Amino acid sequence: MIFQMMINLVNKNFIRNDANVCKIDFAIVLWLMLLTQSVVAQPYFYSQSLSEMYTSLSESCRIGVSFSDTLIYCDETVRGENIPVACEFDKSGALVHLGLRFLPGVDTLPVNQTVIRFIERALLSELISNDINRILTGIRGRNISVALNSMPVRASFFQDKRNVINLLKTTSGINIQYDQIQYEVTLFLGSQQEMSFIFPADNELLTGMDKKELDDWFAANLKNHRKQQDRVVIHEYGSPELHYDTVFVSFNNIYRIPQINNDLYYLKTNDKFSLVFDEKLIVETVKNTLLTPFHYQYNINISHRQYGGREDNFEIYSCDFDDFFFDGFDRFFGLISFDGEMLKGTLFFSDRHSNSIHMARVEVEIDTFFSEGKMYMQINSNIPRHNNEYNESPFDETQ
**Tens of pLDDT, residues 97-138:** 999 999 999 989 999 999 999 999 999 999 998 887 777 777
Residue 244 pLDDT level (bands cut at 50, 70, 90)? confident
Residues 6+ apart with CB under 8 A from 121: 50, 53, 97, 98, 99, 208
Assess whether 8 and 64 both reside in one domain: no
Structural domain of residue 21, as residue ranges? Answer: 2-41
Contact between 13 and 24 under an 8 Å Cβ cutoff? The reply is no
Residues 20, 108 within the same domain: no
pLDDT at residue 367 greater than cutoff 80: yes
Contact 332, 262 (CB under 8 A): yes
Geometric angle at alpha carbon 268, from 334 and 263, rounded to 5°: 15
CA pair distance 260, 294, nearest whole angstrom = 20
- Domain check: are 225 and 310 in the same one? yes
Collapse the DSSP code of 77 into the 3-class scheme (helix H, G, I; strand E, B; otherwise coil) and give the result. Answer: strand
At residue 355, the pLDDT reads 93
Which pLDDT score, from 0 to 100, does residue 14 have?
Answer: 34
95 falls within a domain? yes
- Whether 292 contacts 235, CB under 8 Å: yes
Do residues 85 and 221 both lie within one domain?
Answer: no
Over range 47-53, report the average pLDDT: 94
To the nearest whole number, what is the mean pLDDT of the chain? 84
Residue 272 pLDDT > 80:
yes
Nearest to 82 by CA among 196, 176, 161: 161
* Residue whose C-alpha is closest to residue 70's, from 47, 96, 50: 96
Predicted pLDDT at 31: 43
Q: Can you give the pLDDT at residue 41? A: 55
Domain count of the fold of the chain: 3
Q: What are phi and psi of 59, to 5 degrees?
A: -60, -35
Q: How far apart are CA 255 and CA 234, in angstroms?
A: 23
Given 166, 191, 207, the domain boundary residue is 207
Q: Between these two residues, 95 and 3, which has the higher pLDDT value?
A: 95
For residue 319, the domain's CATH number is: 3.10.450
Distance from chain centroid for Cα 68: 15
The reply to whether 257 falls in a domain is no
pLDDT at 66: 74
Residue 213: what pLDDT?
Answer: 97
Alpha-helical segments (H) within 16-144 = 19-41, 48-56, 113-128, 132-141
Residue 209 CB-density burial (10 A; 0-12 exposed, 13-18 middle, 19+ buried): buried
Q: Looking at 34-48, 61-75, 184-198, 248-262, which range is the least confident one?
A: 34-48
Residue 286 in any domain: the answer is yes
Q: What is the mean pLDDT of residues 250-267?
A: 93
Reported confidence tier of residue 62, pLDDT bands at 50, 70, 90: confident
> Taking 70 as the threshold, does the pLDDT of residue 389 lie above it?
no
Q: What is the structure's pLDDT at 15?
A: 36
The answer to whether residue 267 is domain-embedded is no
Q: Does one domain contain both 315 and 334?
A: yes
Are both 165 and 190 inside the same structural domain? yes
Confidence label for 387 from pLDDT (cuts 50, 70 and 90): low
Tell me, yes or no, whether 107 and 17 share the same domain.
Answer: no
Residue 93 pLDDT class (50, 70, 90 cuts): confident
pLDDT band at 339 (very low <50, low <70, confident <90, very high): very high
Does 134 share its domain with 16?
A: no
The predicted model gives 185-191 an average pLDDT of 96
Cα separation, 382 vs 351, whole angstroms? 9
Is residue 122 one of the residues assigned to a domain? yes
Q: Where are the beta strands (DSSP E) in 212-324?
A: 241-244, 247-250, 254-255, 257-261, 264-269, 272-275, 299-305, 311-317
Q: Examine residue 251 and state whether it is found in any structural domain, yes or no.
A: no
What percent of the chain is modeled with pLDDT above 90? 64
Query: Residue 305: is its pLDDT beyond 90?
Result: yes
The answer as to whether 16 is a domain residue is yes
Note whether 178 and 321 are same-domain residues: no
Considering the domain architecture, whether residues 181 and 56 belong to the same structural domain is answered as yes
Residue 216 sits in the same domain as residue 321: yes
Same domain, 57 and 134: yes
Residue 216 forms part of a structural domain:
yes
Residue 397 is given by DSSP the state T
Please report the pLDDT score of residue 394 as a whole number.
43
Residue 131 phi/psi, 5-degree rounding, is -130, 80
Give residue 296's pLDDT: 78
The DSSP bridge pattern shows strands 241-244 and 194-200 to be unpaired
pLDDT bracket for residue 283 (50, 70, 90): very high
What would the pLDDT profile of 189-223 be if each residue is shown by its tens digit?
Answer: 999 999 999 999 999 999 999 999 999 999 999 99
Percent of the chain with pLDDT over 70: 84
Question: What is the β-pairing status of strands 299-305 and 374-384?
Answer: parallel
C-alpha closest to that of 103 among 111, 95, 91: 111
Least confident of 13-27, 154-168, 231-245: 13-27
Q: Is the pLDDT of residue 397 over 70?
A: no
Q: Which residue has the higher pLDDT, 19 or 278?
A: 278
